[in-house]
Structure 1
Amino acid sequence: MTRTDVKIPLKDVLKEMGVSRAAFYRMRARGQAPKLIKLPNGHLRVSRAELDHWWDGLEETA
């Protein structure tokens, strides 16, 4: 599995982003958060590639 194939648990994504779950969902409602992947067991993940792409997008708008 390559680094870009890794699926990160939402709690770890929130920690990396430095935001609360509520803030993340507000960002998501505005279309400003990385896309979530819902696993069959209901757990939420974000792909490493998606999170890296999201971070890169922030650099472009800053």
Structure 2
Amino acid sequence: MRIGPSAFHRMLARGEAPRMVKLPNGELRCRRADLDAWWDMCERDSGTWR
């Protein structure tokens, strides 16, 4: 995605990032199905994404 961690966390806080799962070690991961659905949404709404 070529964005910094802080930008990604802002997207996550605004609900604009794919659904994330927090692992027991504190790391965040995304399920492939959630990532694919998010990419599809971004492509449909490409006018609002830069």
For Structure 1 versus Structure 2, the TM-score category normalised by the shorter chain is 0.7 to 0.9
Instruction: Please name the residue that 2:9 is paired with.
Output: 25
Question: Normalized against structure 1, the TM-score is what?
Answer: 0.66
CA distance in structure 2 between the aligned counterparts of 1:44 and 1:36, rounded to whole angstroms: 6
How far apart are 1:34 and its partner, in Å? 0.8
How far apart are 1:41 and its partner, in Å? 2.1
Q: Does 1:58 align with 2:46?
A: no
- Greater relative contact order: 1 or 2 (C-alpha under 8 angstroms, separation 6 or more)? 1
CA distance in structure 2 between the aligned counterparts of 1:36 and 1:45, rounded to whole angstroms: 5
Instruction: Please name the residue that 1:35 is paired with.
Output: 19
Question: Normalized against structure 2, the TM-score is what?
Answer: 0.78
Q: How many correspondences in the alignment?
A: 46
How far apart are 1:40 and its partner, in Å? 1.6
Runs of 4+ in 1 over 6 A off after TM superposition: none
Identity rate, percent? 54
Q: Secondary structure at the match of 2:30?
A: strand
CA RMSD of superposed structures (Å): 1.0
